[in-house]
Structure 1
């Protein structure tokens, strides 16, 4: 039990909001909910229960995926971040390994990540497109409103299980949570250490995406650099100094610059600083690739350097070793697993407080450690 929670009937009722439902150890940070009013936590537990009863769903809930289940529809709604999606859905491989076919309903901006997926059969951006007769069970990501709303339309008569239930609020290692919870739902006896060793995000590229990545002609030994970021606190600001120092020590290291529109200014600063770096191959792919194309490009790199965010998790899905940069609020244990070949650095403040020399040294160490 967590020390800030009093041992009381309150804990017994609100516990599922704050505690993972399985026995395995997973990193959890209770900072985001520490000090929250007790009434708020109680409401997080009570509201879904009332909603399920109101919509006639409570009797359809299953604590486990029933034996004999062969067709599952996974509803993933309400978590808009790319990285969260890759981590939360990472355990779908366990369903397929058990002979269970699984389709996905998710938001339109995430659906494209899974169009070429080898685990999800079909991918929908609305539950209305899924035929109830095609499924034995619905798997809800959580019991938050958007997931329940997607269930109570055409799918209202189907039984369902849930990945997170009412667990919400704390930061947690989403990848390990996904694998341990799926183990519990399926009743697997897989040892914890085995799951830890295999737990990582998964993604796949189409043949067209692979061809587009081939067209970049990424040379062997390339280092991918994820520029930009939506949150300034989690975005690194010293790429020109960092990459200049790196190339001074290892002058022929090829670089692949990645990022979206919010990386354009950083890209311009890097290219201006490195203009005189003769003999260095720099591939500028900022704001030029879709996410699946970016994934395929990462597969062709030896190492990726990224602050905590979507491109970091995309690199882990691609199986690329990483140098991962974290601010003081997010411990590496909340994002990484033993399956990620990662050298993490955590700042005592914002990410940009990490000295360029320290990050460059970590890149050189990672290249020595992970290079073929």
Structure 2
């Protein structure tokens, strides 16, 4: 028995850095994760990362905090998805008034999402274009292999701090985690209550629409719908039935314009909606034809965004537009949303298509009424 307790304590010490976020107010689910994952597996991954850091000679370069005036290169090597990148780096909003500059190095496929950012001075997609002499310190998103490889190859002697460090397993509220980690690593000393109240996915606010897009929008207020999806469980299959229910519920003063947004995987569904007949509604589709930046501008001018958990939903939450959002069973809304998202979630017991279209229409009508009542 003493040996078993000793082993349990040692495993606990090795799994803690990977499963427990060191900020009490950040929502995450370590217990759920550990119910389906071996503690030995987590411990081995933790030790592997520590060994990799030590063998690369990088461990001695780690610092826990960044000096206020230091010139910073932020290296993002997280998941190659828009939604994850937006949430993982949302905490940079806290650095708006920082004295020292902050630049970003990110995968080429995500570079366009952050170009023109009002926090990052420069955004690079190629490490060969970055001059190490321009920086005092590197900020790594996490201790994963792609990030450590970039650090070791291109910036071997620069000191570095890491936002998420060894944490990698349990699902968590990535936006809250980003705000907490930026506050810690950059020594901003903001209170937890303040961080909780201000956490929100962040992209530069842009609401001005290009004339070519504005001409194609329906007249008057409009709703935006996010079409398509990468994963079937997060792709809603009943948009036509929802619009029919909303059409029936329509009252003067409610938005009658419906603007369809999304990438190429939503074109077929969008075309089917454009062929449908409605009494009150007027549809326009930009599916597969807008940049993400222009899609964000359209959402910023909408009365409401409606969509399933995914990249466009997280982009929508960087705007001031309220939303109604659909979540599959495996994605609890509290791990994806913050109070400032102004989102009304519908959480199903399986995939998002389980959401009843009439219930969705009723929820949209209620969200619009609340928005009118509060004047937002």
CA–CA separation in structure 2 for the residues paired with 1:195 and 1:220: 36
Match of 1:296 in 2: 297
Is the Cα contact below 8 Å between 2:78 and 2:85 reproduced in 1? no
SS at match of 1:245: helix
Is the Cα contact below 8 Å between 1:127 and 1:151 reproduced in 2? no
Match of 1:87 in 2: 87
Q: For residues 73-222 of structure 1, what are the structure 2 equivalents within 5 Å?
A: 73-204=73-204, 210-211=210-211, 213-217=213-217, 219-222=219-222
Superposed CA offset, 1:249-279 (max 9, x none) = 1165211101111112211222233x2x244
Q: CA deviation at 1:241?
A: 0.3
Is the Cα contact below 8 Å between 1:220 and 1:302 reproduced in 2? no
- Go from structure 1 to structure 2 and tell me whether the alpha carbon gap of 1:124 and 1:218 turns closer, same or farther (over 3 Å shift): farther
SS at match of 1:172: coil
Match of 1:320 in 2: 321
CA–CA separation in structure 1 for the residues paired with 2:23 and 2:212: 42
Is the Cα contact below 8 Å between 1:224 and 1:305 reproduced in 2? yes
SS at match of 1:111: helix
Is the Cα contact below 8 Å between 1:243 and 1:360 reproduced in 2? yes
Match of 2:240 in 1: 240
CA–CA separation in structure 2 for the residues paired with 1:211 and 1:129: 35
CA–CA separation in structure 2 for the residues paired with 1:245 and 1:295: 26
What is the RMSD computed on CA atoms of the aligned residues?
Answer: 2.0
Is the Cα contact below 8 Å between 2:93 and 2:119 reproduced in 1? yes
Match of 2:3 in 1: none
Q: For residues 261-272 of structure 1, what are the structure 2 equivalents within 5 Å?
A: 261-272=264-275
Q: CA deviation at 1:245?
A: 0.7
Is 1:228–2:231 an aligned residue pair? no
Is the Cα contact below 8 Å between 2:200 and 2:317 reproduced in 1? yes
Match of 1:3 in 2: none
Q: CA deviation at 1:166?
A: 1.1
Is the Cα contact below 8 Å between 1:220 and 1:301 reproduced in 2? no
* Structure 1: gaps of 5 or more residues: 1-5
Q: CA deviation at 1:208?
A: 9.0
CA–CA separation in structure 1 for the residues paired with 2:208 and 2:351: 38
Q: How many residues are paired up?
A: 364
Q: CA deviation at 1:189?
A: 2.8
Larger displacement relative to structure 2 (240-249 or 126-135): 126-135
SS at match of 2:317: helix
SS at match of 1:103: strand
CA–CA separation in structure 2 for the residues paired with 1:240 and 1:111: 34
Larger displacement relative to structure 2 (123-132 or 107-116): 123-132
Q: CA deviation at 1:363?
A: 0.4
Q: TM-score, normalised by structure 2?
A: 0.91
Q: CA deviation at 1:212?
A: 5.0
Q: CA deviation at 1:19?
A: 0.7
Q: CA deviation at 1:205?
A: 6.9
Match of 1:334 in 2: 335
Is the Cα contact below 8 Å between 1:204 and 1:292 reproduced in 2? no
- Go from structure 1 to structure 2 and tell me whether the alpha carbon gap of 1:261 and 1:25 turns closer, same or farther (over 3 Å shift): closer
Q: CA deviation at 1:44?
A: 1.7
SS at match of 2:344: strand
Match of 2:61 in 1: 60
- Go from structure 1 to structure 2 and tell me whether the alpha carbon gap of 1:7 and 1:188 turns closer, same or farther (over 3 Å shift): farther
CA–CA separation in structure 2 for the residues paired with 1:189 and 1:235: 40
Larger displacement relative to structure 2 (86-95 or 189-198): 189-198
Is 1:360–2:353 an aligned residue pair? no
Q: CA deviation at 1:22?
A: 2.5
Q: CA deviation at 1:33?
A: 4.8
CA–CA separation in structure 2 for the residues paired with 1:210 and 1:236: 29
CA–CA separation in structure 2 for the residues paired with 1:278 and 1:184: 54
Is the Cα contact below 8 Å between 2:118 and 2:204 reproduced in 1? yes
* Structure 2: gaps of 5 or more residues: 1-6
- Go from structure 1 to structure 2 and tell me whether the alpha carbon gap of 1:327 and 1:126 turns closer, same or farther (over 3 Å shift): same
Q: TM-score, normalised by structure 1?
A: 0.92
